[in-house]
Amino acid sequence: MSEEKDEELERLKKEKMEEIMSEKGGGDFPETSVKVTDDNFREVVDEYPLVVVDFWADWCDPCKRMEPIIEQLAAEYSGRAVFGKMNVDQNRRMPQKFGIASIPTLIIFKDGEPVDKNIGLVRAEDLKRKLDSHLD
């Protein structure tokens, strides 16, 4: 019985993902992080159902340690979520709008709205758990 429920859950997830992808333009999800700027911010977070924006800087050691985690998850979650990176030294408006005072800061956007935030270095497993909670 449990196996049947698992199969049904997987079928429903697949159907929902197909529905989302068709609504969002056919599922053209990048497999690596995308560069997010003050100018393209709204376009990026509105284009995909789930977007993680990493606010970072070149001089920030924890940000550098976060980068391989972001790239790993960008590949793993391609088709379900998009990962963007915004350099806070080159972009001021959006970090100020979202009250970014410490980096790295990750904000998860669902349907264009912020739904979760993490300040500091985060383990891949913890970030995956947060992402999974926002995937419908």
Q: Which of 119, 103, 116, 121 is nearest to 66 (CA)?
A: 121
Indicate the SS3 state at residue 13: helix
Q: Of the residues 20, 51, 63, 66, which is catalytic?
A: 63
Please pick, among 60, 122, 124, 135, the residue that the annotation labels catalytic.
Answer: 60
- Whether 60 is a known active-site residue: answer yes
Residues 6+ apart with CB under 8 A from 5: none
Our answer to whether residue 33 is catalytic in this structure is no
> How far apart, in whole angstroms, are the C-alpha atoms of residue 45 and residue 40?
9
Q: Which residues are catalytic?
A: 60, 63
